[in-house]
Amino acid sequence: MTYYRVIKINPTSRAELPKPALTGDAVLLEDRVMVWDEKLADDLLKSEFYGKPMSKGLQLSLAETRYLLGKKILCVNDVKNKKRISISRFRRKAKSIQPDFDLRFTVYDDLKNRGMIVKTGFKYGAHFRVYGDNPDKTHSKLLVHSVPKNFVSPWPEISRAVRLAHGVKKEMLFARVVNDWVEYIRIGRVRP
């Protein structure tokens, strides 16, 4: 028999990282956003570890891009017509790529506002992996999966997520979104 402990938690961060100093443009390709300006890309990566370095630029996730748009750090241009994209137009485009974009972004935004460093959790089967301190000096301790207010799941799926998280020495959090408020629920195996 397997036992689980379910606890509401309030994730916080010890990270004291500088905010990005530069502002600039990014380009929306089909389903991703690229920063080609090397100085801006370097600033975004070094300040709060945004994006994934590519050959001569930085690839940003949709959530990272929306967050940086909201903070007026980035302006995003459409690669096809070279026109600026408003936040609302970007949101519509993001939702066409990720139908649950609003849910994910609500959690991403909340984690960033708590001072967390948030990266994609795709390879771990979660929406995000979260760092409370500099990712160059520490491993992520948390995997976070965004779920709606009325989320229901069979226990085998919950168990799979928790076991995967434990297998990579992380804790599994489900971020339950209720309107614009986020409740974090940690689920972990208990060995009697």
Annotated active-site residue in 119, 127, 145, 170: 170
Question: Is 3 a known active-site residue?
Answer: no
Q: Distance between CA 144 and CA 167 in Å, rounded?
A: 15
Sheet-wide strand order for 128-131: 3-9, 181-190, 171-178, 142-148, 128-131, 117-120
Residue 170 bears catalytic tag: yes
Active site residue 83: no
Active-site residue among 50, 131, 145, 184? 131
Catalytic residue among 39, 71, 139, 149: 139
Alpha-carbon distance of 130 to 124, in angstroms, equals 12
Phi/psi of residue 34, nearest 5 degrees:
-120, 140
Indicate which residues carry an active-site annotation.
131, 139, 170
